[in-house]
Chains A and B, each alone.
Chain A
Amino acid sequence: MPLASLSNSVPVEVNEEACIADKGCTVCVDVCPLDVLFIDEDKGKAFMKYDECWYCLPCEKDCPTNAITVSIPYLLR
C-alpha cells in the first residue's frame, strides 16, 4: 500500500534558546506518558515528534528551564 505524509500542527512548542538538551537534559522526554517528545540530535533540542498529546503538562511543569509551552491541540481548541 502506498503511503502519503500529512503535516499536523502540534500542541507542544519548545523554546530552543532555553532548551538545554545539548547539555544532556532529557526530562521532558522521560516524563511524557505518551512518549511523543524526542531530542533532535543534530540541533540538540527537544521537539514533539507525534501529534498524540493528552495535554497533561508533565513536560512543561518538569522542564528545568521553562522551555516548553503546551497548547490545547487544534482540533479541540
Chain B
Amino acid sequence: MTDSKDETETMEVDVLVIGGGTAGPMAAVKAKQANPALKVAVLEKANVKRSGAISMGMDGLNNAVIPGHATPEQYVKEITVANDGIVNQKTVMAYAQSSYDMINQLDEWGVKFEKDETGEYNVKKVHHMGTYVLPMPEGHHMKKILYRQLRRHRIQVINRYMATRLFNGPDGRIAGAMLLNSRTAETAVIRAKTIILCTGAAGRLGLPASGYLFGTYENPTNAGDGYSMAYHAGAELSGLECYQINPLIKDYNGPACAYVTGPLGGYTANATGDRFIECDYWSGQMMWEFHRELEGGKGPVFLKLDHLAEETVQEIETILHSNERPSRGRFHDSRSTNYREKMVEMHISEIGFCSGHSASGIWTDEHARTTVPGLYAAGDVGSVPHNYMLGAFVYGALAGEDAAAYCADNELPEIDAAEIARERARVLAPLERESGIPPHQIEYKLRRFVNDYLQPPKVTRKMEIGKERFDEIRADLGRMYAADPHELMRAAELQFILDCADMAAAASLYRTESRWGLYHHRVDHPEIDNENWFVHVQTKKGEDGMPVNFKREIDPYVVELDDEDKVAYQQLRVGSGQATS
C-alpha cells in the first residue's frame, strides 16, 4: 500500500472487516469459511497480534449459556430485566442459542476454560438469576489463538491503517472506506461489497477522574470510530443515552469485583465494611446503588477481600495480576495496598458507549445487519446488550456468515470520486496547517466538558450547555494542527469523539424519563415512564449534519417475563425486598 501524498491508492475486496480485536477476526474467519473464494480483509488501526479489549487476554466468559447451567430462555429473561425491558429479544436469543457452540469452537481452537474433574465447564454464579460465568485462568492466549486462525484461513491483514469514513454507493448501499496510515499519513481507499464494523466501544468519551487521557476503562484505541462512521454512512444507532459506566479500582482502570472475586467470596462494601448491594453483576441499577453509597456518608466504596483465606487471596492475585490487566499488581504496590490487610478503594469509570457492557450501539438485527445495506456491526459497537466477549465472537460469526451470502447477490458499488477527494482533504487538513491547536488539547477540553455536562445524574440545562460547548469545539476544528502522522491519527479520533459527544447529549435529552439506574438518571425526570418511553431511542444523522432522534417500537418478546422477574433488578439494595443473590 504505497501512495504519494497526492494520490490515493484503491484496492478491492468482498468483505472488509474494520477492527481486528475480538469480533473482527471471528467475522473474517467465518466469512472465509462460508465461502473460501471471497476476498476477505481485516483492517486494524493497531496490530491484530495485540489489539483491542483483549490485547493481553481475558479473565473469563461473563455470559456463557451452557446446557445444564442456564437455558437460552433464562438468559434472555435475565438480560431483558437487567436492561429494564428495552431489548430486541430476538438479538439476545440469537446470541444465547449460539453461545455454547461458540465456546466449543474456541475450546477446539485451544482456548483454555476452567473445567472440573470430569472435564465439564466449571461455571460460576454472579448474575442475579442464572449461572453464566466461566473462568479462563489461562486467558492470556486468546489473541495468539485468533491470530493463528487468521493465518490458517489466509485472511489479508492490513495493520496500522485506520478507517476514517465509509462511502455509500449511488443507491445508498455500503461501498467502501477511507484509510489513513498512522505512521506515514498515507491514505488509501478500499472498495468493498460488505463492511463489518468491529471497532469496539467509544472508550474516550468521558475523561477518567485522573485526568489522564489514556487511563480509560476501554482500550483507548477505541475512540468511538465505528459509532461516528456508521452515523455518517446514514445508519441508525440505538440506546446512546444508556451509557457504559463501570465500577473500577480508584485511579486504576481494572475491573474489580463481580466476575473474578465474587465467586471467590470478595464483595463490594462501604466504608464500614458492610455489603450494600445484593448482587455485584454490572447493571445500571447496581451502578445507581454504587453511586449513592459513593456520594453518601458511608462512602466511598471498597472491594473487600481482607476476610478471605490466604490461598484464596493468592488465587485472586494470580488471576487479577496476570491476565487482563497485568499492570494491576504494580499499581497496588505503588500505594502499598495488600488485599490481605485492607479494603481497596473503588470508584466509577468515565462514561462511554458500549453494548458489550450496557446497550449503546449501532442498531442491528439478529444477523448483525445495520440499517444500511451491506453494512454490519458486531461486538461492543453493535447493539446487542450486555454482550461481552462471547457476544462479540458470536455476532462476529453471524456477521461474517451473512456478509458472505450478501456478496453472492451484489456487485461492487461505485464510489463518487469527488466524495473521496473531499474526505481525503478533511482527514489531512490538520497536517497541512503550519500551526494551530494540537489534538490532545482539544481532546482534553472536550472530554472535560463531557464530564461536566453529560455525566449522570443528568440535568437538562447542563446537557444543553454542554451542546453549546461542543458546537464551539466544532468551530475550532478548522484550527486543529497535527505536527506528524501520529498526531493526525489523534486528530481523526478527536472528530469521532466529538460526534459521539453530540450523539450522547441528543439521545439523553430526548428520553425524558429515567431508566437503567445511573446510566440514564435524569434528575428532572426522575421516574420510569413506561407509557411514553417503553421504546428504543434511535439516533441518525439529520439533514443539517447533526443528530436527530426518534422512537422505535420494541419487537414483541420471544420470552415472556413473569411479574417476579420484572422487579428482580429493581431491588438490589441490601434489605430492599425479596432479592437474594
Q: A interface vs B, CB < 8 Å?
A: 1-3, 30-36, 49-50, 52-58, 61-62, 70-73, 75-77
Contact = CB atoms under 8 A, between A and B. Distances in A.
A49 B183 CA distance: 13
B219 A71 contact: no
Interface in B50-81: 50-52, 55-56
B581 interface: no
Contact of B50 (A3, A62, A71): A62
16 contacts: A2-B435, A31-B47, A33-B47, A33-B51, A33-B55, A35-B183, A52-B213, A52-B220, A53-B214, A54-B214, A56-B327, A61-B56, A71-B330, A72-B327, A72-B331, A77-B334
B435 A31 contact: no
A49 B214 CA distance: 15
Contacts of A49: 486
Contacts of B481: 1, 3
Interface string B414-454: 00000000000000000000011110000000000000000
Given A56-B327, A72-B334, A76-B252, A30 B436 contact: no
A71 to B, nearest CB: 7
A34 B438 contact: no
Contacts of A58: 49-50, 55-56
B211 A75 contact: yes
Given A33-B221, A34-B220, A56 B325 contact: yes
B219 A3 contact: no
A72 B50 CA distance: 19
A62 B221 CA distance: 19
B489 interface: yes
A62 B215 CA distance: 22
B210 A35 contact: no
A32 B183 CA distance: 13
B479 interface: yes
A33 B215 contact: no
B518 to A, nearest CB: 23
Given A72-B252, A75-B211, A35 B56 contact: no
Contacts of A77: 331, 334-335
A31 B214 contact: no
A8 to B, nearest CB: 10
A72 to B, nearest CB: 5
A68 to B, nearest CB: 12
Nearest to A36: B486
A33 B52 CA distance: 7
Given A1-B436, A75-B215, A35 B331 contact: no
A11 B73 CA distance: 47
A6 B301 CA distance: 36
B326 interface: yes
B75 to A, nearest CB: 30
A57 to B, nearest CB: 5
Contacts of B479: 1
B249 to A, nearest CB: 10
A49 B486 CA distance: 10
A3 B479 CA distance: 13
Interface centre among A31, A56, A73 (most CB of B within 10 A): A56
